[in-house]
Chains A and B, each alone.
Chain A
Amino acid sequence: MTPKRVLASSLPLKPVVYHILAALADGSKHGYAIKRDIGVRSQNRLDLDPGTLYRLIARLLEDGLVEGVTTSPTTKEPEDGRRRYYRLTEDGRAAYVAETERMASLVDSARADGVIRKPRTA
């Protein structure tokens, strides 16, 4: 279950890659939906161009962190035959979780050192 090889080579994830995994964490999405999700998540600081988005997706597909699906998403988007949807693989989810934990532990230690004063609620 623990994809050590992939984790070892992938972590720490690049911020953009982390954002893509995060966008897919709540279900499969097509390209534009991923882009839009990242925009919202980053308060529009990240506005990915299609070329960059798909270069990263291609890399994630190659690494087995993401897979493509042709059929029905779990989202409310009407089904569109032309569109390909992507979802996290188990390795992908593990990488996402591991990276989140890594960052959380960094935040924890920063808090312990008094760098950040209060824990903030999400």
Chain B
Amino acid sequence: MGGSYPPSWARRVYMLLLRIYPRATRERFDQELFDVFRCSWIAKREAGEQAVAVRMWVRALRDVTVNGLAFRFRRTYGRTHASTLSKLRTLLVTVRQDTRWGLRAMRRNPGFAAVVIATFGLAVGVNAAVFSIVDGVLFQPLPFPESGRLIRVWSTDTLGVERFKRSTFAEVTGIGQRNRSFSGLAAYSMVPSRMLDGYSTPETVVLARLTGDLPAVLGAVPIAGRTFHPTDFQGDGRVVMLSQGLWQRRYGRDPQIVGEQVSIRDEMLTVIGILPETFEYPQDAEAWRPFPVAAYQDDDRELVIVARLADGVSVAQSTSDVRLITSGMRNEGADVDEVQSAWVQPLRATVVRDVRTALLLLLASVGLILLIGCVNVANLFLTRTSHRASELAIRTALGASRGRLVRHLASEGLVLAFFGVTVGLFVGRALLTVVLRLAPASTPRLSEVSLNGFVVAVMFGTVLITGILVSALPGWRWSRLAAGSINVGTRSALGVSRGVSAHRGLVTAEVALSTVLVAVAATLAGSFYNLLSFDRGFETESLLAVPISIADDHGSTQETRLLYARALELTRSLPGVVSAALSFRSPLQTTSFRLSYRTAAAMGDGSTSVNPYLHSVSPAYFSTVKVSLSHGRAFSIADDVDARAVGVINDTFARRHFGGMDPVGQLLYGETGDEIEIVGVVGDIRPTAASMPALVLYRPFAQLVIPFNYLLVRTVTNPLDLVPAIRERVWSLNPNIALDEIATISEEVSGTLAAPRFNMLFVSVFAGIALVLAMIGVYGVMSYTVASRRPEWGLRQVLGADRMTVLRHVLLDSLRVTASGVGIGLILSVAVRRAIRSVLYDVAPAELVVLIAVFAVLAGVAIVAALIPAIRATGVTPLAAFRD
């Protein structure tokens, strides 16, 4: 026989396994154990069995582990406890019996089971859905390798307060070269850019212009082609990577596009690769290209710095690093506009910053529902257990141990909770689909949301524990009473009063929690109403915004101006068009680029310049968007390139910089020596209720030609009907003009309302659920109270109370239970409303009307819930009451 078996190393391995044994046992038996192992091996081998080595080792592993642990267990717990394993087995059998008992109990009482399962199901459903979203958006790491080390660098304001301000070219260069905290750093700015190629109609895509290799910093791997080379960032970098979405939409996933040339912003760029869908950074970007840093040489704060922390560097350390660098640059004489202090924030926090409060609000809402649901179920069990007091007393008398009784009750709760949570998870999955469809499109990371194992585990854990507690605790209490007196079966006064006070405590808690939710929902609804009825300063209906881009950076001004004028003319002459105008920005976009001017007064006293946003608009702009002209005149055809430079300012500008003076006729002095005469003042435009009116200086389009514009069209019919005709006419001028994402202004307005509408809608639905649950709770406690006081109703009637008095008595009692809950809830809700200020618009944190309305709703709920028990109480005849 060639070779020895078991192999020579087997002894060493086996001895290693034997380490599981306690030392003394091992030293006593190790040689013998191995001897048996070896002999068995040989015997099996000689018997011609297959795969002896594998089988022997598998068996040995199991054998040594089990028996070694048994020896250890015995050593620790002694011989008497050595049978714990068999006790465990007995326990499993008991659990199986108890489960069967729970199932039988459920079948005996289907109504009760249905209410408990439905309550748990509803609570778990909304929680699973919302928890999944919150987990996916806020808590899960970003879809990049070691994403916890990714950060963003923000700039502070001039006072050094940490603000979310972007960086300047100088800061990017300084921090990029001098930092000792980052293993990789890239900055980008985003620009909407016209894209041309031989594949499809021109369209505008969002181009991210990178100072460094952003995909490499994030750790993204292209799904086709290559990533950037360091050489791409030197020179003019005429290469571009495209998003998977754009690749799919525009090129039908054609791999041949890699290596082709496309025109973006009138530059021919070679497509080098496609970035995967998971590389959704920055949000909305669809193309990434290296951008010569030289192009950024101004002090615009337009750059976003993303970096990867080097090993062992914390966020705090990197913050002090960038702070040192920026203060160093300032000491070296950098301009205050160019370099400000900086700070570092984890990238994940940055990405979800805007939705954090809203999501946590939703999470808190559904958390409250879960709490209310649990309280409700506790209440139901309390009532049921007290109804079964006599049964428990008899079983105790027959020798059932208290532990056994409690375990029986708990197993019933456990079974119901199990069914509830299972139903709830199905509800949750369905709900998640609905919520994801309704969620505002601007919510980041929605594609990463799913009902994951973590959520399922949390739900199971929470509800099963609740199920056991709420069913076992009342059982514990009642079985104690039962042990003391079998008389409890006839409801001793003691038992009833205890039951009632526990009930009332629970209902008060439940009502308080519901009140908080209803108050928050009312606040959100009020805030949403404010948004709907809010005056934006212009007419949003029947207005179409057509992004139109004739030439990008390199277009010739004269030619561009002519093309725009003809496109405008062709559009205006379409049937159904009331008026049309060109504008650099849609009316809903307030920000723009800024230039510095001085007023005559400022020139005189040497005070600082004003920095209004510049909007270049064609003459019909003000009449087209219907913004009110407060003073002076609007632009006319006469304000062309050869005429005197004129401007129109908005009310805020006039108020802030001209005080009581009439601005019309005043001059604005630009930094390059240009002078602009103010000819008119128009009303402020506020796109959202949250935005403060900014300083705006409108300039005639003819005097300030910007290549990228909006064609604003006011129509008599549905504006979208005109889209094909507008496209046809504009493209008849030049097929390379990009027209895309044409939307009505009212659609855009509705888009800005998406997030508040979503918040309001869901919190309201949750508040509704909470109210229903609270009503069930109040109903439960009132019917229990009424039933347990039957003799009292009879007695009262004997003593002369009429039915109305009894009815009033019960209803008032219900109101009393509710009132304390509402009171506590309202106090809590004032605090909560402060916490959610950031998702509110124009709502004072404690509006009296809302509070009164909430109180009225809850009082109504209390009365409705108590009505049936109250009527039942009036139906008790004195005779029937005393027979009990």
Pairwise interchain contact B70-A54, C-beta atoms closer than 8 A = no
- A88 vs B59: C-alpha distance when bound (angstroms): 29
- A9 vs B73: C-alpha distance when bound (angstroms): 21
Pairwise interchain contact A51-B66, C-beta atoms closer than 8 A = yes
Pairwise interchain contact A32-B29, C-beta atoms closer than 8 A = no
Residues on B with beta carbons closer than 8 Å to the beta carbon of A55: 67, 70-71
| Chain A residue total in the interface (Cβ 8 A) | 16
B54-85 with Cβ < 8 A to chain A: 59-60, 62-64, 66-68, 70-71
Q: Tell me how far the C-beta of B220 lies from the nearest C-beta in chain A, rounded to whole angstroms.
A: 52
* Interface residue SS majority, chain A: helix
Q: Which A residue sits closest to B36, measured CB to CB?
A: A50
- A83 vs B64: C-alpha distance when bound (angstroms): 20
Given A58-B25, A83-B32, is A52 in contact with B39 using a C-beta cutoff of 8 Å?
Answer: no
Pairwise interchain contact A52-B35, C-beta atoms closer than 8 A = no
Q: Say if the beta carbon of B40 comes within 8 Å of chain A.
A: yes
Q: Say if the beta carbon of B635 comes within 8 Å of chain A.
A: no
Q: Tell me how far the C-beta of A38 lies from the nearest C-beta in chain B, rounded to whole angstroms.
A: 12
Q: Tell me how far the C-beta of B49 lies from the nearest C-beta in chain A, rounded to whole angstroms.
A: 12
Residues on B with beta carbons closer than 8 Å to the beta carbon of A83: 32, 35
- A53 vs B62: C-alpha distance when bound (angstroms): 14
Q: Tell me how far the C-beta of A68 lies from the nearest C-beta in chain B, rounded to whole angstroms.
A: 10
Q: Say if the beta carbon of B31 comes within 8 Å of chain A.
A: yes
- A52 vs B37: C-alpha distance when bound (angstroms): 12
Q: Say if the beta carbon of A73 comes within 8 Å of chain B.
A: no
- Which residue of B32, B59, B62 contacts A54 across the interface (Cβ within 8 Å)? B32
Pairwise interchain contact B33-A50, C-beta atoms closer than 8 A = yes
Q: Say if the beta carbon of A84 comes within 8 Å of chain B.
A: yes
Residues on B with beta carbons closer than 8 Å to the beta carbon of A51: 33, 63-64, 66-68
- Which residue of A36, A50, A58 contacts B63 across the interface (Cβ within 8 Å)? A50
Residues on A with beta carbons closer than 8 Å to the beta carbon of B60: 49-50
- A49 vs B39: C-alpha distance when bound (angstroms): 11
Q: Per-position contact with B for A33-46: 1 when CB-CB < 8 Å, else 0? A: 00110000000000
Pairwise interchain contact B63-A49, C-beta atoms closer than 8 A = yes
Pairwise interchain contact A31-B32, C-beta atoms closer than 8 A = yes
Q: Which A residue sits closest to B17, measured CB to CB?
A: A51
Q: Tell me how far the C-beta of A13 lies from the nearest C-beta in chain B, rounded to whole angstroms.
A: 16
- A13 vs B442: C-alpha distance when bound (angstroms): 73
Q: Tell me how far the C-beta of B210 lies from the nearest C-beta in chain A, rounded to whole angstroms.
A: 63
- A55 vs B43: C-alpha distance when bound (angstroms): 22
Q: Per-position contact with A for B23-48: 1 when CB-CB < 8 Å, else 0? A: 00100110111111101100100000
Q: Which B residue sits closest to A33, measured CB to CB?
A: B39
Residues on B with beta carbons closer than 8 Å to the beta carbon of A84: 32
Residues on A with beta carbons closer than 8 Å to the beta carbon of B71: 55, 58
Q: Say if the beta carbon of A117 comes within 8 Å of chain B.
A: no
- A52 vs B60: C-alpha distance when bound (angstroms): 10
Residues on B with beta carbons closer than 8 Å to the beta carbon of A36: 43
Given A35-B40, A49-B59, A49-B63, is A54 in contact with B29 using a C-beta cutoff of 8 Å?
Answer: yes
Q: Which A residue sits closest to B64, measured CB to CB?
A: A51
Q: Tell me how far the C-beta of A53 lies from the nearest C-beta in chain B, rounded to whole angstroms.
A: 6
- Range class of the B interface residue count: 20 to 34
Residues on B with beta carbons closer than 8 Å to the beta carbon of A30: 32, 35
Pairwise interchain contact B36-A82, C-beta atoms closer than 8 A = no
- A84 vs B68: C-alpha distance when bound (angstroms): 20
Pairwise interchain contact A58-B29, C-beta atoms closer than 8 A = yes
- A104 vs B31: C-alpha distance when bound (angstroms): 38
- A31 vs B35: C-alpha distance when bound (angstroms): 8
Q: Which A residue sits closest to B67, measured CB to CB?
A: A51
- A52 vs B32: C-alpha distance when bound (angstroms): 12
Q: Which A residue sits closest to B42, measured CB to CB?
A: A32
Pairwise interchain contact A53-B36, C-beta atoms closer than 8 A = yes
Q: Tell me how far the C-beta of B72 lies from the nearest C-beta in chain A, rounded to whole angstroms.
A: 11
Residues on B with beta carbons closer than 8 Å to the beta carbon of A54: 29, 32-33, 36, 67
Residues on A with beta carbons closer than 8 Å to the beta carbon of B35: 30-32, 82-83
- A72 vs B25: C-alpha distance when bound (angstroms): 24
The residue among A30, A53, A54, A82 with the most chain B CB atoms within 10 A of its own CB is: A54
The residue among A51, A52, A55 with the most chain B CB atoms within 10 A of its own CB is: A51
Residues on A with beta carbons closer than 8 Å to the beta carbon of B39: 32, 35
- A79 vs B757: C-alpha distance when bound (angstroms): 91
Q: Which B residue sits closest to A47, measured CB to CB?
A: B40
Q: Which A residue sits closest to B82, measured CB to CB?
A: A59
Q: Which A residue sits closest to B33, measured CB to CB?
A: A50
Pairwise interchain contact B36-A31, C-beta atoms closer than 8 A = yes
Residues on A with beta carbons closer than 8 Å to the beta carbon of B68: 51
Q: Tell me how far the C-beta of B821 lies from the nearest C-beta in chain A, rounded to whole angstroms.
A: 61
Q: Tell me how far the C-beta of A12 lies from the nearest C-beta in chain B, rounded to whole angstroms.
A: 15
Residues on A with beta carbons closer than 8 Å to the beta carbon of B59: 49
Q: Which A residue sits closest to B31, measured CB to CB?
A: A82
Given A55-B67, A55-B70, A84-B32, is A50 in contact with B37 using a C-beta cutoff of 8 Å?
Answer: yes
Q: Per-position contact with A for B94-137: 1 when CB-CB < 8 Å, else 0? A: 00000000000000000000000000000000000000000000
Q: Per-position contact with B for A50-77: 1 when CB-CB < 8 Å, else 0? A: 1111110010000000000000000000
Pairwise interchain contact A50-B70, C-beta atoms closer than 8 A = no
Residues on B with beta carbons closer than 8 Å to the beta carbon of A35: 36, 39-40
- A46 vs B294: C-alpha distance when bound (angstroms): 84
Given A50-B63, A52-B63, A54-B32, is A32 in contact with B40 using a C-beta cutoff of 8 Å?
Answer: yes
Q: Which B residue sits closest to A63, measured CB to CB?
A: B79
Q: Tell me how far the C-beta of B827 lies from the nearest C-beta in chain A, rounded to whole angstroms.
A: 65
The residue among A35, A55, A83 with the most chain B CB atoms within 10 A of its own CB is: A55
- A30 vs B34: C-alpha distance when bound (angstroms): 13
Q: Tell me how far the C-beta of B30 lies from the nearest C-beta in chain A, rounded to whole angstroms.
A: 10
- A53 vs B31: C-alpha distance when bound (angstroms): 14
- A50 vs B43: C-alpha distance when bound (angstroms): 14
- A55 vs B75: C-alpha distance when bound (angstroms): 12
Q: Tell me how far the C-beta of B77 lies from the nearest C-beta in chain A, rounded to whole angstroms.
A: 15
Q: Which B residue sits closest to A34, measured CB to CB?
A: B36
- A58 vs B64: C-alpha distance when bound (angstroms): 15
Query: CB within 8 Å of A: which residues of B?
Result: 25, 28-29, 31-37, 39-40, 43, 59-60, 62-64, 66-68, 70-71
Q: Provide 29 A-B residue pairs closer than 8 Å at the C-beta atoms, listed in order of the A residue.
A: A30-B32, A31-B35, A32-B36, A32-B40, A35-B36, A35-B39, A36-B43, A49-B59, A49-B63, A49-B67, A50-B32, A50-B34, A50-B36, A50-B60, A50-B63, A51-B33, A51-B63, A51-B67, A52-B66, A55-B71, A58-B25, A58-B28, A58-B29, A58-B71, A82-B31, A82-B35, A83-B32, A83-B35, A84-B32
Q: Can you list the 4 inter-chain pairs with the closest CB atoms, starting with the nearest?
A: A51-B67, A49-B63, A50-B36, A51-B63
Beyond the given A32-B36, A50-B32, could you list 9 further A-B residue pairs with CB under 8 A, ordered by the A residue number? A35-B39, A49-B63, A51-B67, A52-B66, A54-B29, A54-B33, A54-B36, A58-B28, A83-B35
